Copies of this chain bind each other. A is one copy, B any other.
């Protein structure tokens, strides 16, 4: 078996330092389990702009397309806030998602037993929470045409973005979500605003058809996006898998992430379509941002990125066993009382980014 190609894109802010901790795990896998990856590294976001004048250089994109999986840190920071829209760090992220065809963004919102108190919600409301939000990632309001700002004849300016989906885009994200629900508790909640937006009327119709024709074993429900935001706060445990439009998914998944109280713990996966050999392009990244305010201080929480790597092992490399080993190591280290600053609590031991990384390897 040839070694799998893994492209690491640390990005900006704390991206670099959390990725160093993943490298430790990769080294451990080589030494202790004789599993070898062909690892290369590249630039994305502001750090790519500083070198190439663009947040995603063509070579980097080519490397990403050739890789078996991409592991990304985070992009953005005040240094690049005043750049023109087209070369802002975020454009690099949006471009790599779009060009790689990563239409299915999987965002688990999981509460770790050891961290249930970290939530601003009452412990009984969130303890044991385990939901999966499937966000459409290459369509919807983020990518629809026409878009832009124009000046009208009367001198006023007008801004436009377009929310649009075709049947096949909806069916493809729908299948990804139904498949996931099948592996979990067989309940899928599709979130739309079908009482107001025609685009999501189509979304709902296609989800219903899909359930009837291909997933009769999955219980499908529908919820308006405003109600979904409420229900996440009121009783998040009512959900198993949720599927929704790109912009809605951006908002709801961040809301769900914050319910757990420990954003620094949450990984995500972005997957493309399977090719003839069953391989899919994939990118893994923590849900948290680049946190430029704590960059270089060795206090960032590396666990979301480490867990993103575990997702990578599971979804891209079929290494369920190793993925679970990492997840268990994370749980045990938390149980042992180690905490980075963001999840620190009375009576626990505060550790640095690197000590947390080392501790995970030691636990492994």
The complex places the Cα of A161 from the Cα of B147 at a distance, in Å, of 12
* Chain B hits for A164, CB < 8 A: 158-161
* Chain B hits for A235, CB < 8 A: 120
The complex places the Cα of A166 from the Cα of B180 at a distance, in Å, of 41
The answer to whether A198 touches B85 (Cβ under 8 A) is yes
The answer to whether A88 touches B195 (Cβ under 8 A) is yes
The answer to whether A254 touches B234 (Cβ under 8 A) is no
The yes or no answer to A225 lying at the interface (CB within 8 A) is yes
The yes or no answer to A238 lying at the interface (CB within 8 A) is no
**Contact A161 B197, CB 8 Å, known A166-B152, A258-B230:** yes
* Chain B hits for A149, CB < 8 A: 198-199, 201-202
State which size class the interface on A falls in. Answer: 35 or more
The yes or no answer to A345 lying at the interface (CB within 8 A) is no
The answer to whether B247 touches A230 (Cβ under 8 A) is no
The yes or no answer to A65 lying at the interface (CB within 8 A) is no
Secondary structure type dominating chain A contacts: helix
**Contact A159 B233, CB 8 Å, known A121-B121, A195-B88, A225-B251:** no
Contact pick for A195, options B90, B152, B166, B231, CB 8 Å:
B90
Taking the full assembly, how many copies of this chain does it contain? 2
**Contact A230 B201, CB 8 Å, known A168-B156, A196-B90, A251-B225:** no
Considering only CB atoms, which chain B residue lies closest to A94 in the complex?
Answer: B196
The answer to whether A198 touches B165 (Cβ under 8 A) is no
The complex places the Cα of A258 from the Cα of B235 at a distance, in Å, of 10
Chain A residues 117 to 171 lying within 8 A of chain B, measured CB to CB, are 120-122, 125, 141-142, 144, 147-149, 152, 156-168
Q: Distance in Å from the Cβ of A128 to the closest Cβ of chain B? A: 15
* Chain B hits for A284, CB < 8 A: none
The complex places the Cα of A253 from the Cα of B144 at a distance, in Å, of 26
Chain A residues 189 to 227 lying within 8 A of chain B, measured CB to CB, are 193, 195-203, 225-227
The yes or no answer to A250 lying at the interface (CB within 8 A) is yes
Chain A residues 256 to 287 lying within 8 A of chain B, measured CB to CB, are 257-259, 263
Q: What are 5 A-to-B residue pairs whose CB atoms are below 8 Å?
A: A158-B167, A159-B200, A229-B255, A230-B255, A255-B255
